[in-house]
Structure 1
Amino acid sequence: MIDQQAVQSFRRLATLTVIAVYFLILVGGIVRASGAGMGCPDWPTCFGQWIPPTEESQLPPDYHERYAIGYENTQFNPVKTWTEYLNRLTGVTIGFLIFLTAWRSRIYRSDDKVIFYLSWAVFFLVGFQGWLGSTVVASNLKPVIITLHMLLALFIVALLIYILARSQKAHWGYLDISGLPAKFNKVLVAAMAMTLLQVVMGTQVREAVDLIANEHAYIDRQYWRDDFPIIFYVHRSFSSVILFTNAWLFWKIFQGVGRTTLIFKVGILLMGLIVTAIIAGISLDRLGVPPVAQPIHLLMATLIFGTQFFLAIYLHYSRNASRIM
């Protein structure tokens, strides 16, 4: 029998880790929006130092040649450098949290080995994600690597959510979902696939905007929209498909499930996230790509996927609660 105090401690730590990973995604979005992605041109050090410089005088005279990838024609910017460095520190902190989560998953070695093995799998995946992050820097923000970096982050979040949900499945009572249509789960899976596709298109748009921003020296944002690629308009139009698909899911929840249930509250959260993401997207389109909207838009997209994934897991375990108890 697992000690319930240890179980509660594991759940709190796993919850904190999920929140921390989403915070890292937000920080990463801030790095991209501020153009600080190459603030540190090397990895794991920053300009060859463990503590980044704060003034150009602290750099070698030939730093333009030494760090040609990223700084050949660019002056040192301490704000961008420290923004990227703090992003890295956040990533290291999360690495420790995930290690602690994996270490504390030992309590499930006998009762639920899936939680134990997946917790350690996440730890090693985060290590791979760190290496991929160094590749992003080494490739001078190569688009394909950035997309893979984003998708792996979503996969890690999904695994953490699954681990957290599985650890408390026995505490979820049976949920009567007879009021939901038979195709509800299929539409939910389709909605998750749409979200992933939208994220991939969003990274392509983000990469195009980075190039446009660089051409405009990160000023005159009101003119950036004139150079947006066709993928931007596909991405923008596809958001309506995502909105109506998830609205259908929520409407069916509204009709078929009680208002006090967790699934109903998750449905409200899902719609709130989607509306917020769309508002942030509209501001990017119509208000000259304001920097504050970019990380918010990215964070909402990842939260939407995580919420959809949690909803799918919750439905699965609630439906089978009678066999779990």
Structure 2
Amino acid sequence: MRTPSSLLADRWQPSVETVRRAAFAALVMSVVIVLTGGAVRLTASGLGCTTWPRCTGESLTPTPQMGIHGVIEFTNRMLTYVLCAAIAWATLAARCHQRWRRSLTRLGWAQFWLVMSNAVIGGITVLTGLNPYVVAVHMVAAMGLVWVALLMWERAKEGDGAPEQLVSQPLVRLSQLMVAVIGLLVLVGTVVTGAGHHPGSSSDGGKPVYRIPIDYDRLVQTHADLVFLSIGLVVALVFAFAAVKAPAAARARVRELLVVLLAQGLLGLVQYFTDAPEVMVGLHMLGAALVWAAALRVPLALRTRADEPVPADAETASRTLQAA
């Protein structure tokens, strides 16, 4: 039985470069949606639309009475469709490639379902009046989307054969530990935000937005401790990769991670001592997504994946189609 995607594949067979660009576009949009979500919070527009999935009980779109906050929140919701379009392009490009990349289409569909689930979580944040725990889950799910989008982009540059490690197993484990610690760093960062200065909506004329009841300074100190641990692990990887002459890509990526992580740490320091101004917090959220993506790229540079051998019957069929 023919599907719409298989019919499209008969007429459109994108190049490898097109597949990679499409996957990269999906990755960029996954980072953009983190930044725009932060803009909603930092402009106190989290309840700009008072309900979900509509913007109000009677209107799908914001009304003039809702002002700029309604426009900002609704715009962020509409950007979800742009994100879905980027994911759809990447998934279809992988499906229509001359040799169907099933591993990539699965990652594309995983991104789609992550977006759908996060849209529901976003709706719950509105319906619960910006409950900080739900907001934290919303951010974690967005970082999960960045993870899958980055994996699809990196896999688009590899074959579908079995992965082969390029360094010893202890170094692979150390890089995985580094990723886990940075993941924990991001997770604790969402808790800091939930107890911090920007609840996401103004309390003027209404009930104040609930905050996580944990001492803010203690949370910040825990977050800072994880920053120092992360930097230490990355520095250790820089020297370890240089000592064993790890692949050039791995050495370059871990150096890039160190630069991004140090810049993010400096942003966090300035943010704390300037009482968390909105612009600094927004840059810090963008930095969190970039640090997470940079960390995920390091273990992926420690392996190689060749193309799977083409079965004889499939190769014959391909030549027949080309001849026709």
TM-score, L = length of structure 2: 0.78
Deviation at 1:25, TM superposition (A): 0.6
Match among 278, 294, 305 for residue 292 of structure 2 = 305
Mapped to 2, the partners of 1:110 and 1:211 lie a distance apart of: 49
Equivalent in the alignment of 1:130: 119
Change (3 A) 1:40 1:177: same
Partner SS, residue 61 of structure 2: coil
Equivalent in the alignment of 1:121: 110
Equivalent in the alignment of 2:59: 49
Unaligned ranges ≥5, structure 1: 57-75, 218-226
Q: Is 1:314 aligned to residue 301 of structure 2?
A: yes
Q: Is 1:184 aligned to residue 171 of structure 2?
A: yes
Query: Cα deviations across residues 194-215 of structure 1 (Å, max 9, x unaligned)?
Result: 1121112111111111477979
Match among 265, 278, 282 for residue 295 of structure 1 = 282
Equivalent in the alignment of 1:105: 94
Deviation at 1:16, TM superposition (A): 0.8
What amino acid sits opposite 1:137 in the alignment? V
Q: Is 1:242 aligned to residue 230 of structure 2?
A: yes
Greater fraction of residues in helix: 1
Query: What is the count of residue pairs matched by the alignment?
Result: 288
Deviation at 1:110, TM superposition (A): 5.8
Match among 264, 279, 286 for residue 273 of structure 2 = 286
Describe how 1:209-220 pairs up with structure 2 within 5 A: 209-210=196-197
Partner SS, residue 278 of structure 2: coil
Equivalent in the alignment of 1:19: 28
What amino acid sits opposite 1:31 in the alignment? V
Give yes or no for contact 2:30–2:83 (8 Å, CA) kept in 1: yes
Mapped to 2, the partners of 1:81 and 1:252 lie a distance apart of: 51
Give yes or no for contact 1:6–1:107 (8 Å, CA) kept in 2: no
Deviation at 1:45, TM superposition (A): 2.6
Match among 223, 248, 255 for residue 268 of structure 1 = 255
Equivalent in the alignment of 2:7: none
Query: Cα deviations across residues 139-158 of structure 1 (Å, max 9, x unaligned)?
Result: 11122222222222222221
Equivalent in the alignment of 2:239: 251
Change (3 A) 1:109 1:193: farther
Query: Cα deviations across residues 153-201 of structure 1 (Å, max 9, x unaligned)?
Result: 2222211222222222149xx99955xx652211211111111211121
Equivalent in the alignment of 1:30: 39
Instruction: State the percentage of identical aligned residues.
Output: 20
Change (3 A) 1:256 1:137: same
Unaligned ranges ≥5, structure 2: 1-9, 205-214, 311-324
Mapped to 2, the partners of 1:207 and 1:214 lie a distance apart of: 13
